[in-house]
């Protein structure tokens, strides 16, 4: 505590996101060594899949930053619902791509509003509110989907799977959103408010922070991020399906925790989201290239989460 003068090297080493990138780099090296196939294509795939995790992760991170108990469990259902409705609306017509995107975002806004109203009006913990609401969204998605698999419009599918200069388009979207999130948290007034609420809700309220407005915005934002991810993912994989969101429940929380954000709230870490998203994809592909099955993958992801939360706890709670 005595020597608090900034030291550039120490400052970088103390960045919590460093570890996520280090881990991602190591798994990348280990995977390309085993797989033998081009490191370039692995990198491209990692960027693509990591962007989906990163976008939902950004939404979840802002929610978690609001402090203990704040978590959005409706992300998978929102993703599925937004993707299903948007693809159905576009009905493979190129002209409807932009309105389709608006439909997806509109679904996101709707889900976010419902989530927050449940939290505010029924005064139930966010975890239960978002979980029970997610079952409504899921039913809506099942009902509208009807087992049909509607393809995305051709140009949209091309956009989602394509890329330029070795960078996938979806990664460009993900990085742009990460930059926006970073600006919001580090430079905007609202970012200060989010962090203040996460550190101490009562003190934030007593300092004039409009707490309800901020919380409302964050929950809606998380749902919009989920809806956008659903839209992109469905376009990427050639259609929406009912299980497309399932793995993003844990993924969205995992990238936040591994990325170095404090699970206790108040302290978020945007660069870490991308590092963790890359790591989460690479570890799966590493286990795949070592020939390990889905079971082991699930177990290891779960253990990584529990391990990281345990290791990070001392830091988070002493601060």
Partner 1 sequence: MSFGPVHALRAASLTISAGECIGLVGHNGAGKSTLANVINGRLTQTQGAVRYRDGVGELRNSQNAQNAGVRSVFQELSLCPNLTVLENLRIPYRTMPRKGWRRAARQKMIDALDLVFPGHGIRPGATVGNLTIAERQMVEIAIAFADRDREPSLVILDEPTSSLDAAIARQLLDHIKRFCAAGGAVLFISHMMGEIFEVSTRIIIMKDGRIVDDQHASAFTRSSIVDAMGHVAPDDDSADTDQTARTLGAEVVRSPNGLNARAGEIVGLAGLAGHGQAEALAQLYFDHAPKWKSTSEPDVVFVAGDRARDGVMPLWSILQNLSLTTLPEFSRKVMVDRGREAGLVQSWQDRIGIRTDNLLNPILSLSGGNQQKVLFARALASSAPIVVMDDPMRGVDVGTKKEVYQMIRDEAATGRSFLWYSTETDEILECDRVFVFRAGHIAAELTGDEITEENILHASFEMQEAAH
Partner 2 sequence: MTSDRLRLLLPVLSLAVLLGAVFYLQPRAMSYFGLNLLFNLAIPVALATIAQMMIIMVNDIDLSVGTFVSFCACVTATFVHDTPLLGYAILAGAILAYAALGALIQLRGLPAIVVTLGMSFVWGGLAVLILPSPGGASPEWLRTLMTLKTPLVPIAVIAPLVIAFAVHLLIRRSWIGVILQGVGGNERAMERAGWSVVRLRATSYGLAGLFGVLAGMCLVGLTTAADANIALRYTLLSIAGVILGGGEFVGGRISPFGAVIGALTLTLAASFLSFLRLSPDWQIGAQGAILILVLAVRLLFVRKEATA
Q: Is 192 in the site for partner 1 (CB under 8 A)?
A: yes
Residue 163 DSSP one-character state:
E
Q: Is 187 in the site for partner 1 (CB under 8 A)?
A: yes
Q: Are 168 and 159 in contact (CB under 8 A)?
A: no
| CB atoms closer than 10 angstroms to residue 180 | 13
Site for partner 1 in 144-183 (CB under 8 A): 183
CB of residue 215 vs partner 1: minimum separation in angstroms? 10
Decide whether 128 or 176 has the Cβ nearer to partner 2.
Answer: 128
CB of residue 117 vs partner 2: minimum separation in angstroms? 11
CB of residue 293 vs partner 2: minimum separation in angstroms? 7
Decide whether 15 or 88 has the Cβ nearer to partner 1.
Answer: 15
Q: Is 202 in the site for partner 1 (CB under 8 A)?
A: yes
| CB atoms closer than 10 angstroms to residue 292 | 14
* Residue 211 contact among partner 1, partner 2, none, beta carbon within 5 to 8 Å by kind: partner 1
Q: CA distances (Å), 85 to each of 49, 100, 161, in order?
A: 22, 8, 20
Decide whether 171 or 249 has the Cβ nearer to partner 2.
Answer: 249
Decide whether 208 or 291 has the Cβ nearer to partner 1.
Answer: 208
The SS3 assignment for 267 reads coil
CB of residue 128 vs partner 1: minimum separation in angstroms? 19
Residue 166 makes CB contacts below 8 A (sequence gap 6+) with 40, 43, 44
Exposure b/e, 247-281, CB count within 10 A at least 16 = b: bbbebbbbbbbbbbbbbbbbbbbbbbbbbbbbbbb
Q: Are 177 and 171 in contact (CB under 8 A)?
A: no
Length of the chain: 319
Q: Among 22, 98, 180, 203, which residue sits at the site for partner 1 (rule: CB under 8 A)? A: 203
Q: Among 32, 80, 261, 267, which residue sits at the site for partner 1 (rule: CB under 8 A)? A: 267
**Residues contacting partner 1: total by CB under 8 A:** 31
Decide whether 75 or 220 has the Cβ nearer to partner 1.
Answer: 220
Q: Are 109 and 224 in contact (CB under 8 A)?
A: yes
The SS3 assignment for 167 reads strand
* Residue 209 contact among partner 2, partner 1, none, beta carbon within 5 to 8 Å by kind: partner 1
Residue whose pair of structure tokens reads 């009006």 in the numeric block: 121
The SS3 assignment for 164 reads strand
Q: Is 319 in the site for partner 1 (CB under 8 A)?
A: yes
Q: Is 243 in the site for partner 1 (CB under 8 A)?
A: no
CB of residue 23 vs partner 2: minimum separation in angstroms? 16
Residues that bind partner 1 (CB under 8 A): 1, 4-6, 183, 187-190, 192-193, 195-196, 199-200, 202-213, 262, 266-267, 319
């Amino acid at each position: 505590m005595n020597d608090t003068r900034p030291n550039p090297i120490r400052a970088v080493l103390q960045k919590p996101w460093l570890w996520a990138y280090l881990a991602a780099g190591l798994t990348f090296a280990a995977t390309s060594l085993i797989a033998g196939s081009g490191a370039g294509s692995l990198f491209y795939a990692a960027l693509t899949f990591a962007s989906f995790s990163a976008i939902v992760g950004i939404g979840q991170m802002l929610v978690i930053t609001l402090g203990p108990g704040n978590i959005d469990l409706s992300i998978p259902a929102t993703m599925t619902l937004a993707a299903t409705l948007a693809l159905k609306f576009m009905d493979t017509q190129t002209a409807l791509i932009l309105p389709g995107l608006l439909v997806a975002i509109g679904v996101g806004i709707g889900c976010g509003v419902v989530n927050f109203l449940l939290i505010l009006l029924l005064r139930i913990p966010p975890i239960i509110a978002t979980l029970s609401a997610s079952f409504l969204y899921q039913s809506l998605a099942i009902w509208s989907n009807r087992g049909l698999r509607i393809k995305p419009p051709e140009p949209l599918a091309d956009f989602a799977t394509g890329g330029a200069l070795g960078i996938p388009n979806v990664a460009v979207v993900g990085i742009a959103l990460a930059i926006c999130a970073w600006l919001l948290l580090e430079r905007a007034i609202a970012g200060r408010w989010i962090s203040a609420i996460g550190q101490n809700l009562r003190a934030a309220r007593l300092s004039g922070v409009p707490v309800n407005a901020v919380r409302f915005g964050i929950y809606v934002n998380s749902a919009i991020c989920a809806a956008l991810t659903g839209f992109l993912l469905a376009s990427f994989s050639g259609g929406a399906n009912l299980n497309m969101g399932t793995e993003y429940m844990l993924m969205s929380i995992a990238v936040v925790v591994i990325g170095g954000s404090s699970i206790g709230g108040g302290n978020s870490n945007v660069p870490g989201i991308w590092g963790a998203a890359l790591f989460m994809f690479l570890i799966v592909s590493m286990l795949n290239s070592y020939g390990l099955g889905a079971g082991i993958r699930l177990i290891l992801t779960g253990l990584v989460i529990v391990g990281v939360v345990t290791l990070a706890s001392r830091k988070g709670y002493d601060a």
